[in-house]
Structure formats: structure tokens, C-alpha cells
Structure 1
Amino acid sequence: MKITVITVGKIKEKYLKDAIAEYSKRLSKYCKLEMIEVADEKTPDAASENVERQIRQKEGERILKYIKEDSYVITLEIGGAMLDSVAFAKKIENLGIQGKSHITFIIGGSIGLGEDVLKKSDYALSFSKMTFPHQLMRVILLEQIYRGYRIVAGEPYHK
């Protein structure tokens, strides 16, 4: 299976880059992983809803360029479905059983995803009602994908 993770913005912190590299290496045993970063827009302090919508639209246009037609798209959204690790593993496994060979996860920027990206989504996933930095979500997502593959394979993974 191919997993693509499309994210808004660059990672600057070394510790996050190191964690992403570690999980990317671990995942190479289970899937072909592709990480795509698109440029983020500067969001002014106290931006109006209209300005934020325009920013999400610009970032969304960049994201949409990388979504392949044959891909099953999962957007990370606060209002999405919350799954435990076993259910998440089952979701990935079932997509493979249904013949989906490419899953694209999308992590938006600091103000979320644009409407056009949300319309492309096949499934909205939430990791928590809490808000996490979008850079940190990359690490959390990769860890859960790795955990999911370990669960599906019946391999041990610390709890």
C-alpha cells in the first residue's frame, strides 16, 4: 500500500524532523510512504474570517495539486470521527481489502483546511477534541499509522 501525507508548512524543529524520520524508516517495512509539504500562508493576527477563508483556499489549491484520483483521502479535522488505535488499524486494513492501494492523509495549516479540500475528503478523522500544532500532528499520525500496521500484522507494540 502507498501512504501519502500532505501537510501545510515546513518543519523547523530538529526533534520533530528526527521523529518523522524514525517513523518513516519504521513504516518502510509495511508501506511506501510519501511526505509532501506545501507552502503555508502567513496569517495576520486578528485576521477576519474572510482573510482566513482566502488563506485556506490558497493552501487548499496547493494541496489539491498532489491528490491522486485513485487515492482514498482522509482529512484530519477536529470534527472528524474519533477512533481508537485498533479501529484505526481496522480502517486501514479494510481499505486494503476493498482494493484501495493508495491512502492520502491531509493535515491542514494552523487555521484548518479549505472547503475544496474538505469536499475531496472520503473520510474525516479526528485524533482529539484538543488542538495540536500541525507540525506535531505529523509525528502523531505517523506513529498511529505505524501502530496500525503492527496491530494488523499481529506484532507486539508497547502500550
Structure 2
Amino acid sequence: MIKIIAVGKIKEKFVKAQIAEYEKRLRPFTKLEIIEVNDEIAPQANSEAQNALVKEKEGERLLAKIKDQEYVILLDLWGEMINSETLADKIEKLQTYQSSNITFVIAGSLGPGKKVIDRANWRWKLSDLTFTHQMTRVLVLEQLYRAYMILHHNPYHK
């Protein structure tokens, strides 16, 4: 099973449509659950202490949705960048030898708090580019679909 836990709600119709399309495409390969948790208001004028509190509150909401036996992959600017084939291999090995429950965590706009970082089994950096959190969900789903297509020797990934 794949679970994606993300801070914030998707509002844009085109993003919702993309997410729905990848959910449909992933159904033959894995059970998928997407959980949204509320975000905190974080004005630009926040102090570092206020931002730390925002990350802590959002982190508590994220952690409340994670079970002990889940393997947690945190989307993180300081994570490891890998290619699609390596992601496919990682998913296959995790689901075969470690945990059938893989949880992807997408923190809020300020990033993850320390407790979320500490809970992560692995930190994944999608790119050196910056994406909205909404688009990050679409990109994660697309890469998951690509990984399953690779594992099933389908030509989508080329």
C-alpha cells in the first residue's frame, strides 16, 4: 500500500484532475490513500520562532497519520535525488523485504519540522527546482506510476 500524507488542501481543479488520473492509473498496481492535513497560517513576517511553531503543529498532524510499521519517505529539499529506475527498484525492495506500507510525506510551505525529519526512514529530493506543494503531489504520483510501469516492464517510462 502507498499512502501520501500532505499538508494543505488541493483547491485547483486542474491539479485535482491530474491527481485523480494518476490515482486511476495506479489502482491496478497498488492500494493508494491520500490524506490531507490542515496547514497553519505562516505570514512572510513570521519570526523564526513562529515558523518553528508552525512546522511543529503541522508535523504533529502529519505524524498522527503515520503508523509504526510504515516506511516513511519524506519529500525534502535536503534529501537524496535519484532517477526513476532507482525509485522503482527501491519501491520493489521495500515492499518485498521491508514493509508493504510505504508512506510519502509532503510537509508544508516552511518544510518539515525536526520530529518529521526524525521519523523519516529516507528523505527524497525530487529536483533542484522549486515546486508548489500541490504540484509536488502530482509529481510524486506520476513518479509512482512510472515506477510501477518500470517494474511491470511497460514502455511508459521511456
Unaligned runs of 5+ in 2: none
Q: Is the 8 A contact 1:8 1:39 kept in 2?
A: yes
Alpha carbons of structure 1 residues 158 and 92: separation in structure 2 relative to 1, 3 Å: closer
Provide the aligned length of Structure 1 versus Structure 2. Answer: 158
In the alignment, the residues of structure 1 paired with residue 157 and residue 8 of structure 2 have an alpha-carbon distance, to the nearest angstrom, of 31
Match of 1:116 in 2: 115
Q: Deviations over 1:18-62 (max 9, x none)?
A: 000000011011000000000000111221111111000000010
Match of 1:25 in 2: 24
Match of 1:7 in 2: 6
Letter in 1 for 2:66: I
- Please report how far the alpha carbon of residue 103 of structure 1 lies from its aligned counterpart in structure 2 after TM superposition: 0.1
Once the two structures are aligned, what percentage of the paired residues are identical? Answer: 49
RMSD: 0.9
Unaligned runs of 5+ in 1: none
Moved >4 Å (runs of 4+)? none
- Please report how far the alpha carbon of residue 12 of structure 1 lies from its aligned counterpart in structure 2 after TM superposition: 0.4
Q: Deviations over 1:122-151 (max 9, x none)?
A: 000001122211111000000000000000
Alpha carbons of structure 1 residues 91 and 157: separation in structure 2 relative to 1, 3 Å: same
TM-score by length of 2: 0.97
Match of 1:67 in 2: 66
In the alignment, the residues of structure 2 paired with residue 81 and residue 16 of structure 1 have an alpha-carbon distance, to the nearest angstrom, of 26
TM-score by length of 1: 0.97
